[in-house]
Homo-oligomer: A and B are copies of this chain.
């Protein structure tokens, strides 16, 4: 008997009508003889509403209590979905993160899954039930509710698929799959039928909103096949699978952009050993994830250190940077929220030289200045002014995707 995990995002369960539609879709899989575990996000808008309440009380609400409040969004959704399923004659039971239980570490608001105990789920499945699990949440060693951070429901789904050895993890969303660029910016963007875990991870970390990076990491680690598709139609979406040789024939799989980061620069830092370590350790201690780091060559014993963080962490990061700057005798701290990170991603880069040069040339021709560059084996990212973001994505999509030739390798 095949076992599938289906994950529905906030838009898919955004109203009572849509919850009924999701129930019908689940019933279809049950009628096809499948065992189904459903993972649901909160109804769209609910997480923001709850966060808003906590923010009315405090500019920096206690993380444990914030998780207590915010985790109710998914709890409501799973209860409603179970009721909708029962109304269609499908036996179902909802389980919160602590009821599964899904064990996480202590990092409230961005916890990581440590272990999933599947006994309860297995026993409910064995009774012929659909099990509806709350995404985005778990429980730590102290018995406190934790949340996994934005998009954490994807991680819940993939982790459950891995733990249950499911045949496939279907991620239902409001788009039809993963595109070569954001279709709202590039009308010529095309759906990617198959993409490797590695490419998807880069796309996700670079701003593609379709899947959360951690969930793709999980999938790659445990070999969970993912099928991203729309909950509003029956089209095939994008399969995320192990890399294969064919994939390298395409140099660039997609173009990503990310407006969610802020750049912080510590200006005129005395160029002595240990200062960068001090700064980034202080940020790490507060669980702030730093993305790009740029340190220029030293002039006259001083250097500038720039880094980017998620905008939601920028206030705290700036505060920490200022404290460290004062301690080490730097001149000051500058912050820029109006930046964009534009990236090109593709396995083919491994074997196809010249992608970086071509990217810089395209941006240069459009008169776009590059603040920082960061590369990996399969992606190149450039930090630019926010106002040029759409222009850059369109120009790069035209150069790399619309006019691309399949590269003959071997």
Contacts and interface: CB of A to CB of B under 8 A. Distances in A.
Given A58-B87, A86-B58, A98-B98, A65 B53 contact: no
A56 to B, nearest CB: 5
A319 to B, nearest CB: 19
A192 interface: no
A99 B143 contact: yes
Interface in A179-234: none
Contacts of A75: 68-69, 71-72, 75
Interface string A115-145: 0000000000000000000000000000111
Interface stretch (A77-85, A245-253, A257-265): A77-85
Given A72-B76, A75-B72, A54 B83 contact: yes
A80 B94 contact: no
B69 A76 contact: yes
Nearest to A70: B79
Contacts of A99: 143-144
A19 B79 contact: no
Nearest to A132: B65
B65 A94 contact: yes
- Tell me the interface secondary structure of chain A in the complex: helix
B57 A84 contact: yes
B58 A79 contact: no
B98 A86 contact: no
A68 B76 CA distance: 7
Nearest to A50: B76
B98 A53 contact: no
A83 B57 contact: yes
A355 interface: no
Given A20-B57, A72-B76, A76-B50, A83 B62 contact: yes
Contacts of A66: 79, 83
A144 B78 CA distance: 14
A284 interface: no
A274 B61 CA distance: 62
B62 A80 contact: no
A48 to B, nearest CB: 14
A16 interface: yes
B50 A65 contact: no
A65 B79 contact: yes
Given A16-B53, A16-B56, A87-B57, A69 B79 contact: yes
Interface in A9-26: 16, 19-20
17 contacts: A50-B76, A53-B80, A54-B83, A57-B80, A57-B83, A62-B83, A64-B93, A65-B80, A65-B82, A65-B86, A65-B94, A66-B79, A68-B78, A69-B79, A75-B75, A98-B98, A99-B144
